[in-house]
Amino acid sequence: MIPLGWYLTLSATLFTIGLVGFIIRKDLIVMLMCLEIMFNAVNIAFASFSYYNASLTGQVFVLFTIAVAASEAAIGLAIVLALVRNTGINHSDEITQLRN
């Protein structure tokens, strides 16, 4: 049986990678992927706590979170693609207006 600390270490590492990537990178799609890495890191922590506490509520919450993250990713990707198509802007520091 793998100790809980290893799962939490993995979760913290993935969350840190996602956070650093989100802060450092300026490409909108890469920033969106870094957000998904952070969501999945939190899901790993929830699932591991749920497993070690022998409770299914955490795992159900993880499934709900995955569904919400999938819809968030679809909406975010659609917004980014519309922004790139309409303005040609792909970097977050080039965005100066949200409306014309």
pTM: 0.84
99: left (phi over 0), alpha (psi -120 to 50) or beta: beta
Residue 49 lies in a domain: yes
Tokens for 54, please give them. 């022998």
Residue 69 lies in a domain: yes
What is the number of structural domains in the chain? 1
Domain that holds residue 61: 4-94
Residue 99 lies in a domain: no
Considering Cα of 39, then 43, then 49, then 55, what sign does the dihedral take?
positive
Instruction: Determine phi and psi for 53, rounding to 5 degrees.
Output: -95, 0
**pLDDT 10s digits, 53-78:** 988 888 899 999 999 999 999 999 99
pLDDT score of 30: 93
CATH number at residue 21: 1.10.287.3510
